[in-house]
Each structure stands twice: as C-alpha cells, then as structure tokens.
Chains A and B, each alone.
Chain A
C-alpha cells in the first residue's frame, strides 16, 4: 500500500542536460592539488600569536601546580592561560541544555577527568616558543585511581543511545524464539576504542574585533558551531563568523565545536591579538571525541529451514564520567535480517576518558561487525552458504518496525557484488583455500546498511541579468565533495550550465546548510538548494509569463521549463527566452529566492529509509605467521539517486577501507593503570596505508526512491564501513578457521585459536 503523499513528479534529475548524475571531477580539485585550498591552520592574520595546549598526563584528579613562571620566562612566551586568568564565559562549559550539547573542558577548574584534557594554554610569538612553553609548565597532579577498563566498572542502562534512541527495544518473544530454534548461536565480540584521526588536526585561528569574532576552523556544521560559540561568549550569533571552506577530514570529530577550538578563541580574547591554535596529533586522543569500545553479545536462533527465529543483540559500551554519548551498537540489528523476535539492549559503564562521539557510522559500524560475524557463525552452524543464509533471511519489511522500505535494492547488490567477486563455488568449510604461494585464503561477506537521514537546511538562490546564477548555503566539504555535488544540484535547480554558476559555501554568514553528518548532507543541503532553485525559477517564470513582450506570455507558471539559462514553454519549445532577456526587460539586475529542506515526517512515519549494500572480501593469511592482508574487496551499494558517481564511488571505497581497518588495524591502547593512551600517534595507532588495500571496488547499483526526498538521494558517506568490517572478519575465519571475536584481529589470537601452523 502506498500512502498518498506529496511527492515531486518532476525530479530535477529527469531534466535534459542535467548536471546531476554526471561524473564531474571535483570543482575544488585544482585548489587542492596546487596547495591553494585554504584549511584553517593556513590562515595567518597580521599580528597573530601562536597558542599551544598543555594537556593532562593523568586520567583523574586535579592539577596541583603549574610552573607558569618557567613558561613565561621562556623567550617569546607572551601569556599562559590557566583557570586563574582564563577570560570569563557567559555559559558554564558544563551546562547541558540538550543531549547534543556536550560538556567542554575550558579551564573552568583544576580538575582532570581524562588523559589529554587541556589544562593550560601557552601563547607566544612563535610556534616554537609556545610549544616549549607548554612543556615547561611541568604540571604536578593529585592523582586518583583511573577507571580504565570495562572489567571493574559498574554497569547501568543509559537513558538513550545514539541520537536519542531507546536503550532497549524488542518485538516478539526472543526467549520463545530461541527455545524453538533448531540451531542456536551465541557469541561475544569485543571492539576497541578508535579515534577519528582526520589528517587535519583540529585547528582554529581566532580574531576578535571588539565584540565581533571571526574564526577559521574546520566545522561540519557551521551554524551549530556559530550558535555554540555565541552561546559560550554571550554574543549574538551574527557577531560570530565561522569560516570553514575546507575540512581536512571530519568523520564526526568536527561535527560539534570541541573544547580546544574554544580555548583558541579564549586565548585570543586574553591577549587581545589573533591567535592560532592547532592540536598536536597526540592531543587528538581525548578532547575531540572517539568511538567508544563495546562488548557485544549476540544470540541467534535458527529453524531447520535456516530462518531466524530470534535475534538478541546486547551491547555494553562506555561513556565518559561526565557526559553522555552511548554508541548505539545493538541497533544495527533493527534493520537487516527478518526475524519474528528481535531484542536489542544497551548497557554502559563510565570511564575516565574523553566523551565518545559520533565517529563514521557510529553504532552502525560497531554493531555491524558483531552482527555480520554472528550471522556468519549462524550460517556455518546451519551448513549454509553465507549469501544463501542472508537471502533466506532477507527482510522484505523493516524487521523491527514492520514498515515497508522506501526502496531496497539489496538483492541486486548481493547479486552484482557476488558475481563481480566470483563468490559462487566458495567452499563452505574454512581452511579450504590456499593461493599459489601457499597462503591461507578466505572469502567472507557482509551486508551493509545505513539510514537515509535528513536534517534541516536553507539555501539562497540568485539569478542575475548577465545570465549567471548564484547559490549560497553554508555547506561543509570535508572530502565528500560538497563543492561539486551540491553545485551540480544547484546548476540543475537554476536551470543553468554549471559553468554559469557561482556556488558559495563554507561560511556561517550564508544560509544554514545543516550538519555534514549522518550521511545526510547531500540530501539535506541538496534539497534546500533544489527548492531555492525552484523558487527563484518560479519568480522568473512569473515575470516572463506576465510580460506581454515575452514569448512566454501567458504560459503560466506550470508551463515553463528551465534549461541552460532559458525558460521554454512546455510543449512548445520554439517559444523560449533567456534569463538575461527576461530580467533585462523587467529592469532587474537580479532576483533571488530562498529554499528550505527538512525530512517529511509523514513519509518517514510510513516508510523505513535506508541505503543498502553487500560487501565481499578476500583475505590472505600467512599459514604459520598469521599476518593478514585484505587482498580484494568488492562492494555493491544502492543508495538512491547518485549525484556524482565519481565522488560517490570514492566515498564507498574510503568507507570500505575504514571497514577493513576496523577489522584488522585500528585500536587505541590505554595503559590499564593510568588510562593514558600508549599509541596516541600515527606510527602505532594503525590506519591503513596504501599497501594494505591492493584491490577495492565499489559498484553503484541503480535505485529509484520516490519517498526519501524529491531528489531521491540517500547517503553514501558511512555505509561502506558497515558490511565490510564483518566481511573481512568472516574472511579471516574462512581462511584460518579461527573466529575473530576481538577486534582488531591479532596474530596471537590466530595462533592461540589453532588457525596457524
């Protein structure tokens, strides 16, 4: 049954000569390959000083003393900001008015609540002096016992997880489903803390002009950042100008303003000069968020036909001692596999860490690796091929809610990726394949999914009498390609060739484009752009069709089509007129209109909206020595309308490599006594290098979705991790016979599990 909903029946992508769908190269490409793209730390206003953080070496306690005199005595040091002299704020950094207002460490007191918490800021004429000044502070602490691991911590049920989801949900009777099952699988999986580690460290250049503030700082959501800063300093938001034309990666860690960024602003306030503050790499392991560790227990019941009778997913996770973010790992089991009974539940502990945060596919990634591993275990327990097993449990409606999917081309994803990978003929049993060099070879798969989210945004469209157009929205490009994809939508929205378009973004004085997060930015900002374009075209059409001198006179608003800078009469394209002619005759130098976007709540009530994908992985494992390499990844994804296949493919590939990294590489290792992260660097916190991923392919599966939004866009930024992490883990099992239950996979686990030699 299709509810009667207000849908667009003439989506922009159907227009002739469309920019949408074209594999354009990045419009910011030349800036990026020549070094001319300006990231926050590249700014250098006159008279600027350098600020460097001093951070805590303990996890819990208080700073008993700082040798401020030694720092001040260092040549070039101008000032040391501590709780004693930090400029006043209008708002308590610990105030929390809503769940996504995270508590910040802004030198409000001498307390320490996690390692690498800022405890002072040294400001100097040079970076070298500020850096050494911070070292000279030589803090002394009163240290309390750190709460580091899950083991000794008290568990509790959080009030909500992720973005306000209930901590536990269920449908059907899991206990009965398990009791009735012919086969039962129960397994516990461990995932480690991970850190975003965008290549660009968080940075800010802050300049005050009286009570006006300009900051260059990477932000995935400029209006939110502007509002947060304004609130902290008691300013009206229009006094705060946030510029973020390029982010050197975000992955969630630049979604909200972090403490160190605000400290840069405070430092500038204190010294009355512009200040640049850039985090050192090791300082990114604390105050700018991370992916929380989990311990997940899955119980699956399967009947004799290989169908799930029950799916129970319990996740234990961790937040900080002073704030709440709970990785919604178990919610991954809501959407993928049909089961008459599903229960998901979360518990949490509090640890002396920085507050965890959204990190690329928060919850989806952690939950997916556990779920896909458990499903693989179930398939093996039933003697079924992992793909057949997944198809047997294919969800025709969203399992948890029973809602129909707005679109779901997952079967096609399975089929295309499996064919491309060459999955058929895979031996069921592990340790059955070797390559010509004798390496254990394993094939595994996983299903990918990510919700199709939309937030709120606004855009402003302008048509000019010279035939050019302008589109403005404060979109953030952290690599996903907003400068290009949104411009493509804008060009179509304005009925212009993209060369005639000026696209402005990345600045908070533009209309709010919402947050570049949740894989929803292209849909959200794109729809605002689309609507702004439609609105300004409607104005233009009004002018033309009401003007007796126009060939479009009398055509009425419904009766024109915009294309390549002209309006055409629908049904009679011999009658047309250029924008220039229309505006010129009307004596207008330009016209403008605004458009907004938001999720349509009625459709969202009626439909479950997700992107889907299937990922197949090949790993090779040295049979004696246990080193693992992902030699092939093939993914196929269906995520609605593709604005730019080149950029979308890159997003999938990047996500898939994050998935491989989740399974094999990434882990922050805290000393179990002090809580200090022992590998807070890029040498020993392993992210994949080029040699780790010799062959990764992403296939784009066609999918029309008339419900998600008028453009039919879902999201592509995060889905690649899901599915892939599990696929790699399952391939390791298939190669070795050892089921990875602790991630990342370690050589010693393969050794101990008898998978080697």
Chain B
C-alpha cells in the first residue's frame, strides 16, 4: 500500500473540497478500496474518510413516497431494517447473499455501488487491463474467462460487475444522488454504471471528486413488495461471487402480469436491466412460457466473450427461475440461505 494523506472531513462540503485534488479517493467501509490498495490496483494519494458525515447515514421516506438511503448506511443495517426488507425484499435478499456478515457490517450502500470488478486480470497488476490502465490491452480476452461478461462487453474489456445489491436496485429504477463541487445531481442507477466500449476505465458517470451521497428507491418500487426475489447462482453455498444472478419483481392482477422487472447480475460490466423482457411480460399470463420468452429476450444480444458460452443459457434459466419465484411470492421471512437455490430445502428428506 502506498503512503497517502489521510483526512477526515466533518461536513459534506469539506469532503468534496478535500477530494477535489487528483488522486484523491473517498474511504467509507473500506472493504473494497483497502483490498484494491493492498493489491496495488488502487494507489490513491489522499484518502478522504467520509465515515463521520452523519447526514449520509440516514434512511428516510421522502414526501414523494420514495425512500432515500444514505450512502453510508451499512449493508447489514439496511438488510435487517424490517420496514425496508418488507418493502424491498429482493434488495434485502441480495444484500444478504453478498459477501459475509462481517463485510456486510462494514460495507456501505455507496461503496457497494462503487465496487470494482473481480476480473482476475484487473486485480493482477502484471496483466494487461484496459480498465486499470487504458491502452494496455485486455488479457482476459484470451485468458481464463469463464466468469466473464456475455452482455455489453467490448474487445477492450469483458469484466463483470460483482455487486448483488445493484441488481434488484437497477430493476427497481433506483436513482443515485451525487454531490460534487458543482452541486447535487441525480442519475438513474441504470445510467450510473457504464459499459466498457472504448473507455472501460470510466466505470461510472461520476466526475472526478464527485461523491455518491444516497440511493433513492422511487415510490413505485414498493408495488412489488409481495412478489420480488433475488436468485444467485454460486460455486459454493455462501461467501462467493455470483456466477449469474437475477432479480425479478412482478405485479400480477386478474391473472395477468401488470408490471414486471428483471435484471441480471454477473453477466455484464453493469447490473443488467432487461427492459425488452419486461415489456414482453406485460399483459402476459404468468407462467413458465412467458418467463422463457422473456428470458430469451433478455439474453437475445448475448454472446460469449471467451470460454463462457454456458453463462448465456444459465442466465436464461436463472431469469426464468427468478421470475417463477417472484410469482410464487415473497416469503414471510427471508430464507436461511438468501438467494440460494437451496433456500427452501434444508432437512427435507428425499421422496424418491
């Protein structure tokens, strides 16, 4: 880890001012930034510790019915906030399926949104990585890439975004509140993360020095409370990044789907909102056939970026399953293994 200046501002304005210099980075939970610094992937010259800014630590219902979650709210606190979990169950389930209890106690809402890819070539500073160093190339492209992107990738970068939290958030039209030297602005989460294109080093729309101060869930997002799930496929039962994941949310009335939301995780450089799939579901009769059609649309543009073609079929199936689970309804209590395919089966005897 390089030496850095450590500053701990006491107000938001002070924080933004302190981070105006090039090479500055905001420090919140530290679970991703310190990891990157230890690996030499990030080498900030100044750390602006924002953990003492009380205004970023609140969850509040706004007059327009939206929910504003401060960027410093810890993942565990949000997931275990009963009102929050009851209203946005897929978000709580996604949060609890990520990382470990310890990490969730430290990691923040803003930090989760800002987390970097787990692409091993991004982490391996001896490898070429356009995301880390534009123009150096992408060693993942012909490398070990079974976990890499199948949607929205470019020859410059095939990394995926590792967040679970962001997947239901993007499905629910979450909005990111951003503070900068020019004031406050709002960007939808869908627009917040950028696809790599020719400039994978620009992962988000944040300008230098800008700070995520809150995430908002619009009033409409609460309509899905009774039919929203997150499903995360993993290579071990817990404490693992998603191979593929999906958040699904439905409003079913009179035997027809009136509203539908679907987003995929682990497939692209951003949480992947499947709008065409959602549109196809509107008015349809709930059921496997509709979900399969929607899932096919969600992956229509998918193509392997390497040895990962299986993820396309897998993502289709995960989408179908997530929609089926959403249709079945949000469980009264989150399962013991959140977002797991094994969520409901412990102790069940086989019945041949």
Whether A associates with B in a native complex is yes
Query: A residues within 8 Å of B by Cβ?
Result: 57-58, 74-75, 128, 131-132, 135, 427, 432-437, 439, 441, 618, 620, 622, 624-627, 629, 631, 664-665, 669-674, 676, 678-679, 683-684, 686, 688-692, 694, 747-748, 751-752, 757
A58 to B243 Cα, complex, angstroms: 29
Are the C-beta atoms of A437 and B144 separated by less than 8 Å? Answer: no
Does B234 touch A at the CB level, under 8 Å? yes
Are the C-beta atoms of B342 and A627 separated by less than 8 Å? Answer: yes
A622 to B341 Cα, complex, angstroms: 7
Return chain B residues, CB-CB under 8 Å to A436.
345, 348-349, 351
Are the C-beta atoms of A433 and B352 separated by less than 8 Å? Answer: yes
Contact of B146 among A57, A441, A629, A748 (CB under 8 A): A748
Return chain A residues, CB-CB under 8 Å to B341.
439, 622, 625, 627
Task: Tell me the nearest residue of chain A to B143, going by C-beta.
Answer: A671
Task: Tell me the nearest residue of chain A to B347, going by C-beta.
Answer: A694
Contact of B236 among A672, A689, A751 (CB under 8 A): A689
Contact of B352 among A57, A432, A747, A757 (CB under 8 A): A432
Are the C-beta atoms of A752 and B1 separated by less than 8 Å? Answer: no
Binds A, one of B17-25, B164-172, B278-286, B309-317: B309-317
Are the C-beta atoms of A132 and B2 separated by less than 8 Å? Answer: yes
Are the C-beta atoms of B310 and A752 separated by less than 8 Å? Answer: yes
Binds A, one of B118-126, B182-190, B220-228, B251-259: B118-126
A691 to B97 Cα, complex, angstroms: 12
Are the C-beta atoms of A627 and B310 separated by less than 8 Å? Answer: no
Are the C-beta atoms of A625 and B233 separated by less than 8 Å? Answer: yes
Are the C-beta atoms of A692 and B352 separated by less than 8 Å? Answer: no
Return chain A residues, CB-CB under 8 Å to B352.
427, 432-434
A441 and B350 in contact (CB under 8 A), knowing A135-B40, A627-B341, A684-B120?
yes
Count of A-B contacts judged by CB separation below 8 Å: 123
Task: Tell me the nearest residue of chain A to B343, going by C-beta.
Answer: A437
A-B pairs, top 4 by smallest CB distance, nearest first, are A57-B126, A748-B310, A678-B120, A691-B238
Contact of A692 among B144, B237, B349 (CB under 8 A): B237
Are the C-beta atoms of B118 and A678 separated by less than 8 Å? Answer: no
A689 to B243 Cα, complex, angstroms: 17
A261 to B247 Cα, complex, angstroms: 48
Residues 66-100 of chain B, each 1 if its beta carbon lies under 8 Å from chain A, else 0: 00000000000000000000000000000000000
Return chain A residues, CB-CB under 8 Å to B332.
none
Tally of B interface residues using CB under 8 Å: 44
Are the C-beta atoms of A671 and B144 separated by less than 8 Å? Answer: yes
Does B235 touch A at the CB level, under 8 Å? yes
Are the C-beta atoms of B351 and A688 separated by less than 8 Å? Answer: no
A255 to B341 Cα, complex, angstroms: 40
Return chain A residues, CB-CB under 8 Å to B235.
627, 665, 686, 747
Does B241 touch A at the CB level, under 8 Å? yes
Are the C-beta atoms of B139 and A625 separated by less than 8 Å? Answer: no
Interface residues of B in 306-332 (CB under 8 A from A): 310, 313-314, 317-318, 320-321
Contact of A433 among B40, B127, B243, B350 (CB under 8 A): B350
A435 and B1 in contact (CB under 8 A), knowing A665-B236, A686-B235?
no
Are the C-beta atoms of B142 and A620 separated by less than 8 Å? Answer: no
Instruction: State the majority secondary structure of interface residues on A.
Output: loop
Return chain B residues, CB-CB under 8 Å to A131.
1
A673 to B138 Cα, complex, angstroms: 13
The minimal Cβ–Cβ distance linking A465 to chain B, given in whole angstroms, is: 53
Contact of B144 among A625, A669, A747 (CB under 8 A): A669
Does B240 touch A at the CB level, under 8 Å? yes
The minimal Cβ–Cβ distance linking A483 to chain B, given in whole angstroms, is: 29
* Extra inter-chain contacts (5) besides given A75-B3, A684-B120, CB under 8 Å: A128-B1, A132-B3, A620-B342, A622-B342, A691-B237
A434 to B144 Cα, complex, angstroms: 35
Are the C-beta atoms of B348 and A435 separated by less than 8 Å? Answer: yes
Return chain A residues, CB-CB under 8 Å to B313.
751
Are the C-beta atoms of B314 and A747 separated by less than 8 Å? Answer: yes
Are the C-beta atoms of B310 and A747 separated by less than 8 Å? Answer: yes
Task: Tell me the nearest residue of chain B to A135, going by C-beta.
Answer: B40
A694 to B342 Cα, complex, angstroms: 11
Residues 111-141 of chain B, each 1 if its beta carbon lies under 8 Å from chain A, else 0: 0000000101100101100000000000100
Return chain B residues, CB-CB under 8 Å to A678.
120-121, 124, 143-144
A5 to B110 Cα, complex, angstroms: 74
Are the C-beta atoms of B143 and A692 separated by less than 8 Å? Answer: no
Are the C-beta atoms of B237 and A620 separated by less than 8 Å? Answer: no
Are the C-beta atoms of A688 and B236 separated by less than 8 Å? Answer: yes
Are the C-beta atoms of B314 and A625 separated by less than 8 Å? Answer: yes
Does B297 touch A at the CB level, under 8 Å? no
Return chain A residues, CB-CB under 8 Å to B239.
689, 691
A435 to B349 Cα, complex, angstroms: 6
A748 to B348 Cα, complex, angstroms: 26
5 A-B contact pairs sorted by A residue (CB < 8 Å): A58-B126, A132-B2, A135-B40, A432-B352, A670-B144
A135 to B40 Cα, complex, angstroms: 8
Return chain A residues, CB-CB under 8 Å to B3.
74-75, 132
Does B337 touch A at the CB level, under 8 Å? yes
Does B346 touch A at the CB level, under 8 Å? yes
A628 to B60 Cα, complex, angstroms: 40
Task: Tell me the nearest residue of chain A to B345, going by C-beta.
Answer: A437
Task: Tell me the nearest residue of chain A to B344, going by C-beta.
Answer: A437
The minimal Cβ–Cβ distance linking A56 to chain B, given in whole angstroms, is: 9
Task: Tell me the nearest residue of chain B to A686, going by C-beta.
Answer: B236
